Amino acid sequence: MSNKTKYSIDSKGFYGEFGGAYVPEILYKCVTDLQQAYLPIIESDSFQQEYRALLRDYVGRPSPLYEARRMSEKYGCRLFLKREDLNHTGAHKINNTIGQILMARKMGKTRIIAETGAGQHGVATATVCALMGMRCEVFMGKTDVERQKTNVERMKMLGAEVHPVTTGNMTLSDACSEAIRDWCCHPQDTYYLVGSTMGPHPYPDIVARMQSIISEEIKQQLMEKTGRDYPDCLVACVGGGSNAAGTIYHYIDDERVRIVLAEAGGSGIDTDRTAATMHRGTVGIIHGARSLVMQTADGQIEEAFTISAGLDYPGIGPMHADLAQRGRTEILAVNDDEAIYAGYELTRMEGIIPAIESAHAIAALSKISFSKDDIVVLTVSGRGDKDVQTYLNNKQMAKEYGQF
């Protein structure tokens, strides 16, 4: 696990030229404490025992690896779906929050803060705080509070306090800034539970390790189902990058495995309504890390647009910026209409309603050429119950795009 390889994070928290910890002076101690504490905690037997027991008995892992026969036939490959949609709370995010809450407790923290966009990470955080009896405060842009009512209600029911953020565009990026500001005021007792492979070092590495259970299971499950433990191709969607990081973690250095990641093109990468950070971003600092950022010429962060609330982020984790820059991953932009269409397609062909985020990964399949024996693993990062209204509202968009 700690063997350094070509794509590993270095001791200062950099993946190539991306990453690091660009934080205000007041957080310096918090961040360096965490940098020193996280690996010994994650690698300890007591952590691993508790983490794995909760993943099994509370989250419901291992999540199934399902061979999707009708979709396989359509795309001319052997397509396996990694079913993160079947986890407790409906997505991969709980893998990370379970791990980090255990870490926070080991570090003696008593108050948990988190940022959330669509509310999925807020719900996953509020869930584990209820489980551990810890205080939970969630920062969420006021715009998102209004458009994601059900998740706000779930968080409140779970006992969390939700703070609507009224700065900037009042969306995810502003919620992140506000969470960092709160952390500055309460560095002693507060643990900032980051929801994706972003933020200052060590967060991207922490979150990637917490999600790496996904590829650990894929290895074992592929071995059982196909007689070999690696696929020809991995496919996942990327917002901040956590489900993708988990999907590829144990295959990054295995060059036999092609990696295709789908980011949200919104209305198109040539329009100003896009969230395709790896196509459109330039190098900058966002939320404590050097990465690719959608920004104006003078460095103001630009708002991201996509139909998918969970991919609506103007940055990208440093690990992914590096992998893309070095050509280890192929990045495809998937537009709103393609994603909606793909969501209907999976629903009608396999009886699985995916989250719109995950539908971006499905849509990538039509942009990749396969040979018939190729083994392809695609992570369905979450379920689409939260998105049914959006699918129905945009059915026309999908119909214009293709038949189903």
Answer yes or no whether residue 120 interacts with ligand PLP by CB under 6 A: yes
d(CA 92, CA 237): 12
Whose Cβ is closer to ligand PLP: residue 78's or residue 244's?
244
Q: How remote is the C-alpha of 165 from its chain's centroid? A: 22
84 is catalytic: no
Buried b / exposed e along 346-367 (16+ C-beta atoms within 10 A): bbebbebbbbbbbbbbbbbbbe
Tell me the residue type at 251: Y
Task: Name the active-site residue from 72, 82, 109, 115.
Answer: 115
In a 13 Å sphere around the CA of 33, the CA atoms on its Cβ side amount to 17
Answer yes or no whether residue 242 interacts with ligand PLP by CB under 6 A: yes
Q: Which of residues 376-395 bind ligand PLP (CB under 6 A)?
A: 381-382
Answer yes or no whether residue 263 interacts with ligand PLP by CB under 6 A: no
Instruction: Name every residue whose Cβ is closer than 8 Å to that of residue 44 and which is 6 or more positions away in sequence.
Output: none
d(CA 122, CA 126): 6
Shortest Å distance, C-beta 244 to ligand PLP: 6
Instruction: Name every residue whose Cβ is closer than 8 Å to that of residue 118 and which is 6 or more positions away in sequence.
Output: 144, 148, 151, 309, 310, 312, 386
Establish whether the linkage from the previous residue to 40 is cis, with ω within 30° of 0: no
Total number of residues shown for the chain = 404
Tell me the residue type at 175: A
Determine which residue in the list 196, 221, 329, 335 makes contact with ligand PLP, applying CB under 6 A.
Answer: 196
Shortest Å distance, C-beta 121 to ligand PLP: 6
Buried b / exposed e along 381-396 (16+ C-beta atoms within 10 A): bbbbebbeebbeebee
Shortest Å distance, C-beta 179 to ligand PLP: 16
Going by C-alpha positions, the residue among 170, 242, 198 that lies closest to residue 22 is: 198
Shortest Å distance, C-beta 333 to ligand PLP: 14
CB count in 10 Å sphere of residue 146: 12
303 is catalytic: no
Whose Cβ is closer to ligand PLP: residue 93's or residue 258's?
93
Going by C-alpha positions, the residue among 286, 247, 221, 326 that lies closest to residue 5 is: 326
Task: Name the active-site residue from 173, 215, 242, 381.
Answer: 381
Whose Cβ is closer to ligand PLP: residue 91's or residue 301's?
91
Taking contact as CB under 6 A, which single stretch among the options 23-31, 214-222, 240-248, 254-262 is the one that binds ligand PLP?
240-248
399 is catalytic: no
Taking contact as CB under 6 A, which single stretch among the options 162-170, 215-223, 339-347, 350-358 is the one that binds ligand PLP?
350-358
Tell me the residue number closest to ligand PLP, measured at CB: 382
Q: Which of residues 355-374 bind ligand PLP (CB under 6 A)?
A: 355, 357-358
Whose Cβ is closer to ligand PLP: residue 20's or residue 354's?
354
Determine which residue in the list 199, 200, 240, 288 makes contact with ligand PLP, applying CB under 6 A.
Answer: 240
Supply the residues annotated as catalytic. 93, 115, 381
User: Where on the chain is the footprint of ligand PLP (CB under 6 A)?
Assistant: 91, 93, 120, 196, 237-244, 310-311, 355, 357-358, 381-382
